[in-house]
Amino acid sequence: MRIFLSGPMGAGKSTTALRLAQALGLPALDLDAQIEVRGGATVAAIFRDRGEAAFRELEREVLGQILARSDDFVLALGGGTVVDRASRARLLEDGLVVTLHASLDALCRRVGAGAERPLLARGPDVATRLGELLHQRAAAYAECHLFWDTEQEEALLPVIVACLVSPPILVPLGERSYRVRVGAGLLASMEPPADASGVLVVSDDNVHGLWAAEVVRRLDDAGRRVVQVVLPAGEAHKTLAQVEAIWQQALDARLDRDAFVWAIGGGVVTDMAAFAASTLMRGVRVGLAPTSLLAMVDAAVGGKTGFDMRQGKNLVGTFWQPVEVVADLRTLSTLPVLERQSGLAEVVKSAWLDSEQAVVALERDADALAAGDLAALESAVRRSVALKARIVSQDEREAGSRALLNLGHTLGHGFEAAAGLGALGHGQAVALGMLAACRVERALGEGERDTEHRLAHLLQRLGLPTNWEERLDAHVLSFLDVDKKRRGGRTRFILPGSPGRARVHPIEASALAQALRTPGGA
């Protein structure tokens, strides 16, 4: 339970730290005060006599000493602490980062003439310089678990406590950062942005009556302007025609660029609604409430949107990050067993990409996951989302490491498409694709038979198919020619390796087909 308060000068970090610490029974620390003790001079004097570079180096050193402590605390950071990328990453990993903010006028009133604030002396006046600093630091301040306006009347403490009980998972993308909330009952707390001129709620005819209709009623009761779109359910309807239906409803209702799209449903709904949002009036904000395990751990996080074409899955789409993702675990209670198993394939993929420890945790919880245990599912969702958030923050548009998330998908899409839409679930196809990838790896003279057996055993325990060899035919292989990951005639194929050691291997379709047909691998 470590809480780090960030934000600009005048946001009230030190005062808030004292109040929170007292309420939570924790020690309150102030980074600037600790720096002054360590440096033997005031912050202003260190800036004046040694320069900002020396101050920042001292700041990193003192912060490292504080983070090395074994206890919990509330720490008020300096206004520029989180600008350092490495420090920001450490803070986000070590505790709850809360950015305190206020309007420029309020900040100016609080700092006054700024006589003891050396960075304010570098501009023609306090307001101009403070405004410049806010602009320069906006991306760093946005990468936080909670963004709090100190001018609002609502008390901060209960919000902090709720975040500590169920910490949001941050997808850190500068000013486009967003949080993924995971827990039971979260749909009841879904709120569109206060400044949204209207809310377009998109669901399908399976999810609408179960979950979306109640959200619509609550928004209506709150006086929000709501427009509903209910799509036909199923992968067979993941088409441009359904995207057009979303556009038409929004335009017929005369929604404007300040409107907000809430997608409530599985991956088909979240993909199409987010694509529609990304293109409607050249882009409106979107929030996602995935209601399937597959959507929670994959489709709803990362910003990929799109729809299917007759040539294959998700061949037309955009990158458009949501402003929030709400994964209400209650919705998993209404999933058919096959749908839950489909999501578990992506959970296995994420664990395999992550580490040996993640795979061991999955093996430990496999029976509980197969039975639909809520606690085990929450842990699995959190691990998967955290991995994807980490990869997406490093490679948002799949220029490098994000390609690893396609483990099992190159052949999985082929298995799925060859079976016919709806005949084989996406997750079931990915399970087959991961095992086929193990065989490719061994045919190339890499990989171990024991690794393939371990993966197959885990998939079987979770109720997923492993009979990829029986399903492999020319029809499956034909879909390699329309794979989105091709570059220069070669597919960026993902070799699974051992847990945490997957890698990208460019390979031509003919060589891939030959490797798959090698009996038992090399």
Point out the catalytic residue in the list 409, 439, 442, 471: 409
**What rounded mean pLDDT belongs to the chain?**
93
Task: Please list the alpha-helical segments (H only) found in 143-239.
Answer: 156-165, 207, 213-221
Point out the catalytic residue in the list 145, 388, 442, 492: 388
Q: Is 426 assigned a catalytic role? A: yes
Q: How confident is the model at residue 116 (pLDDT cuts 50, 70, 90)?
A: confident
What is the second-level CATH architecture of the domain 181-335?
3-Layer(aba) Sandwich (3.40)
Point out the catalytic residue in the list 137, 208, 349, 413: 413
Asked if the domains at 3-165 and 181-335 fall in one CATH topology, the answer is: yes
**Superfamily the domain 380-516 falls into:** Dehydroquinate synthase-like - alpha domain (1.20.1090.10)
Q: Is 175 assigned a catalytic role? A: no
Point out the catalytic residue in the list 117, 237, 402, 442: 402
Average pLDDT over residues 155-164: 91
> 169-212, pLDDT tens digit by residue?
999 999 999 999 999 999 998 899 999 999 999 999 999 999 99
Q: Is 398 assigned a catalytic role? A: yes
Q: How far, in Å, CA of 199 to CA of 273, rounded? A: 13
Residue 115's pLDDT is 67
Point out the catalytic residue in the list 398, 416, 441, 452: 398
Average pLDDT over residues 480-499: 79
Q: Is 382 assigned a catalytic role? A: no
DSSP 3-state of 31 = helix
CATH code: domain 3-165 is 3.40.50.300
> 300-342, pLDDT tens digit by residue?
999 999 998 888 778 899 999 999 999 999 999 999 999 999 9
Point out the catalytic residue in the list 117, 304, 349, 442: 304
Q: How confident is the model at residue 488 (pLDDT cuts 50, 70, 90)?
A: low
Q: Is 409 assigned a catalytic role? A: yes
Please, are residues 291 and 341 in contact by the beta-carbon 8 Å criterion? no
Q: Is 304 assigned a catalytic role? A: yes
Residue 120's pLDDT is 82
Point out the catalytic residue in the list 406, 416, 439, 471: 406
Model's pTM, two decimal places?
0.90
Query: What residues does each domain of the chain span?
Result: 3-165, 181-335, 380-516
Residue type, 133: L
Point out the catalytic residue in the list 153, 154, 282, 470: 282
Give the percent of the chain with pLDDT over 70: 97
Residue 123 pLDDT exceeds 80: no
Q: Which residues of 459-486 are buried (b: 16+ CB within 10 A; e: fewer)?
A: bebbbbbbebeebbeeebbebbeebbbb
Window from 29-33, 81-85, 121-125, 405-409 with minimum mean pLDDT: 121-125
Q: Is 402 assigned a catalytic role? A: yes
Strand 178-183 to 169-171 pairing: antiparallel
Point out the catalytic residue in the list 88, 117, 340, 426: 426
